[in-house]
Amino acid sequence: MKTVCIKIGGSTVDAQGLLRELGQSIHQLLPESFPIIVHGGGKDIARQLKLLNREFTFIEGMRVTDAEMVNIVQMVLSGDVNKRIVNALLSEGVQAAGFSGVDAALFTASKMLINGQDIGFVGKIDRVNPALIDLCRSAGLVPVISPISRDDDGCIYNVNADLAAGELAMAIGSDDLIFVSDVPGVLIDGEVRKEIRISEIEPLIEQGQITGGMVPKLRSAADAVHRGVGRVHICGWHDSETLRNELTRGATSGTIIFN
């Protein structure tokens, strides 16, 4: 059975009608594939922070997160967004279970520094314990994962969902890792680049061709390919056929990253 790790971005989750299409798309992959969903929730987090009059900033695509803010992020991602996705899958006949990196110590994290700069309770994943994923596989459940994680001392961290999806895909030897984004693929000079070799990624970042949230996404993709993930895809969402098309040679519409 092919294992497919799918990262859904927060802005994508917000799109009208997408969660129903996601459920249909996941249903199409069963039972030949074992799909795993890792999700973000950036727009929902921003909306909640605005309601609370909390300002926030980003450094290299990472949200600076203080002690109060990490509690808000956990509430939004592991509570609201996670259960909305699970509910949508169940509505389309997909047996799904939602949890976060905290549960069963799926992800053990530590503080992430950006160029030596402390950006608060933002973590990087040091270890993956796939026991919960294995249980879902054997039980026929589709895992839906919020990237919120903990360290060995129980401190909670906001973890970038792209990085979480990459680490999970590497730990379980995923055949495919698909990043569903709010853009149709990696845009270079305004056009989708169909293929990018991992050796091209850092030069493209240095040249300013790749910026913002696409920086950690592509770095995560490069690391995943280096460490054995079969293929990494970055694509936009089109309809309920999106995932099946991305896994079909010649039908992809986004960008494929390879060695």
Tokens 């696409």 correspond to: 214
Phi first, then psi: give them for residue 26, nearest 5 degrees: -65, -40
Read off the pLDDT of each residue in 129-135 and give the average, rounded to a whole number: 97
- Among 158, 162, 170, 169, CA closest to 112: 158
Q: Note the pLDDT of residue 48.
A: 83
Q: Which secondary-structure segment (H or E) carries 176?
A: strand 176-181
| pLDDT at residue 120 tops 90 | no
33-55 pLDDT, tens digit per residue, is 999 999 998 888 888 878 887 87
Residues 6 or more apart whose CB falls under 8 angstroms from that of 105 comprise 127, 129, 150
Q: Decide: residue 8, CB within 10 A, 0-12 exposed, 13-18 middle, 19+ buried.
A: buried
Secondary structure percentages of the chain, helix, strand, coil, to 5: 40, 30, 30
The average confidence (pLDDT) of the chain is 90
The CA-atom distances, in angstroms, between 215 and each of 71, 133, 153, 194, 220 are 26, 28, 30, 17, 9
pLDDT confidence tier of residue 119, bands split at 50, 70 and 90 = confident
Both tokens of residue 157? 């961290």
**Whole-structure pTM over 0.85, yes or no?**
yes
Q: Note the pLDDT of residue 149.
A: 97
CB atoms within 10 A of CB 34: 22
Both tokens of residue 61? 């695509």
DSSP 194-233: SEEEGGGHHHHHHTTSS-TTHHHHHHHHHHHHHTT-SEEE
151-170 pLDDT, tens digit per residue, is 999 999 999 898 899 999 99
69-113 pLDDT, tens digit per residue, is 888 999 999 999 999 999 999 999 999 999 999 999 999 999 988
Read off the pLDDT of each residue in 226-237 and give the average, rounded to a whole number: 92
Q: What is the DSSP letter of 104?
A: G
Residues 6 or more apart whose CB falls under 8 angstroms from that of 108 comprise 125, 126, 127, 128, 129, 149, 150, 151, 152
Residues 6 or more apart whose CB falls under 8 angstroms from that of 240 comprise 21, 24, 25, 28
pLDDT confidence tier of residue 15, bands split at 50, 70 and 90 = confident
Read off the pLDDT of each residue in 125-132 and give the average, rounded to a whole number: 97
| pLDDT at residue 116 tops 90 | no
Instruction: Please give the share of the chain, as a percent, with pLDDT higher than 90.
Output: 63
Q: What is the DSSP letter of 36?
A: E
Q: Give the span between the Cα atoms of 150 and 160, in whole angstroms.
A: 13
For residues 251 and 205, which has the higher predicted lDDT (pLDDT)? 205
Least confident piece of the model among 9-13, 112-116, 236-240: 9-13
Read off the pLDDT of each residue in 134-155 and give the average, rounded to a whole number: 97
Q: Note the pLDDT of residue 42.
A: 80
Q: Give the span between the Cα atoms of 68 and 200, in whole angstroms.
A: 38
Per CATH, which fold does 2-174+238-252 belong to?
A: Carbamate kinase (3.40.1160)
pLDDT confidence tier of residue 214, bands split at 50, 70 and 90 = confident
Q: Give the span between the Cα atoms of 29 and 21, in whole angstroms.
A: 13
For residues 114 and 161, which has the higher predicted lDDT (pLDDT)? 161
Bridge partner list, 38: 7, 145
